[in-house]
Amino acid sequence: MKGDRNPHAPVESPVDRVNAVARALTSTTDGVADLQREVVCTAASIAGDGATAALALRDGKRFRVRFVDPHVAMPDAFDAWEIEPDVIAGRRVRRVIPGRGSLLVLPMSYLGKVVGALAVISPADSATPEADAEGVLAILANNAAIAMENARLYEMERESVRRLRELDTMKTDFLSTVQHELRTPLTAILGLSDLIEMCWTRWEDAPKLDALRDIQVAARNLDGIVETIIDFSVGDGEALVLAMADVPLEDAVRAATMVVGERHKGGLPVPVEVDVVPGVTLRADSDRLGQVLRALIDNAVKFSDGHGRVLVRGAPAEPGTVLVEVIDEGIGIATEDVPRIFERFYQADNTATRRFGGTGMGLALARRVVEAHGATIDVDTLLGSGTRVSLRWPEHADGAASVRSEGPMASSLPVQ
């Protein structure tokens, strides 16, 4: 139905009209919107010279116009039937609208329920479409309802297939990443253990202790990876079980910072400063809160790329809520990657030559834990200048019920 076709060219016979219906419902391949456009143009063509048409979908007890024949300027010609109860009841409506023309509204039914309506207005000096044309329009209306539902289901299926393929690719990348991330500390542990065994009688105590510290760092990194994998797989698709208590925020932040520091030989590569208002407590599961803080601090340190500092701030915000911010001056996140950084298996850089390690599950697990507490997590970032991750966390036992998701806070990066 594309090309140079005149949508208002008269259709000469009932056979031609039925063929027009078939073409309108089978020649479109660009989705529901394209199908709606073809149905409206075909309805106007079937109705005769000077006619125009519109299509509406049912929304409760009203009809909302979705497409109006673009070839005729009709600013408000279809207002009269938007609340027509007869159409909702499945009856056709014929009406003369003074100064506008003759209106014919045909219900569109799917599985016995009126789901929309097809309306045709003929010029003021014309009658409503003749009987055989009205019959063909009725066929068009009902078959269009079926065709639009099929097109909608096809689009949903196509999107589901696309998403499944995307997830399959992400899982493949994830398995490759995990394999690499697990082998790195294991290689260090096994290699250094063998080296100590071979050199035990020749080495002094200092190099032995240094090798043991390297083994401890590798073991802690391995432990963190395994812990994340286990927690993510156990919690996937089910509610997290939380042991709620009042947790001092400053103690939790310093404990998380210490654990992250133990995963780096020689300590943290950038300084982590803690600026938490004394006495602030969160209503949280202590272990799960620690997971979130470790994930955010570890990311901030890792993606600082050895530059600047990391600042962890905490202070009361609106009543019953504590604002916790983890701010770095690192590489930042590209705008197109921000909406997906909390997706499981997703990493902004999945290439084999990526500069920064990690499984891509830390932030996904962090968001799950945050939401299980009734808290929110937001990201404000500027590529090349740093990232601010903001948590709004319930302060009291009843705080989770009052917290609502908010947009990212205004931020000027880097942190001064």
Tell how strand 62-68 and strand 244-248 pair up.
Answer: unpaired
Q: Is the pTM of this model over 0.85?
A: no
**Per-residue pLDDT averaged across 187-213, rounded?**
86
Whole-number Å distance between alpha carbons of 333 and 389? 12
Find the range with the poorest average confidence among 30-34, 337-341, 372-376. 30-34
Question: What is the SS3 string spanning the chain?
Answer: CCCCCCCCCCCCCHHHHHHHHHHHHHCCCCCHHHHHHHHHHHHHHHHCCCCEEEEEEEECCEEEEEEECCCCCCCCCCHHHCCCHHHHCCCCEEEEECCCEEEEEEEEEECCEEEEEEEEEECCCCCCCCHHHHHHHHHHHHHHHHHHHHHHHHHHHHHHHHHHHHHHHHHHHHHHHHHHHHHHHHHHHHHHHHHHHHHCCCCCHHHHHHHHHHHHHHHHHHHHHHHHHHHHHHHCCCCCCCCEEEEEHHHHHHHHHHHHHHCCCCCCCCCEEEEECCCCEEEEEHHHHHHHHHHHHHHHHHCCCCCCCEEEEEEECCCCEEEEEEEECCCCCCHHHHHHCCCCCCCCCCCCCCCCCCCCCHHHHHHHHHHHCCCEEEEEEECCCEEEEEEEEECCCCHHHCCCCCCCCCCCCCCC
Amino acid at 370: V
Residue 233: pLDDT band (50, 70, 90) is: low
Per-residue confidence at 414, pLDDT binned at 50, 70, 90?
very low
pLDDT 10s digits, 109-155 = 888 888 888 888 887 655 556 667 788 888 888 888 888 888 788 88
The residues near 295 (Cβ < 8 Å, ≥ 6 apart) are 228, 362, 363, 365, 366
Whether residue 81 contacts residue 97, with contact meaning beta carbons closer than 8 Å, is answered with no
What domains are defined for the chain?
A: 14-160 (3.30.450.40), 166-227 (1.10.287.130), 244-401 (3.30.565.10)
184-208 average pLDDT score: 86
Read off the pLDDT of each residue in 359-377 and give the average, rounded to a whole number. 84
Give the separation between CA 162 and CA 334, rounded to whole angstroms.
23
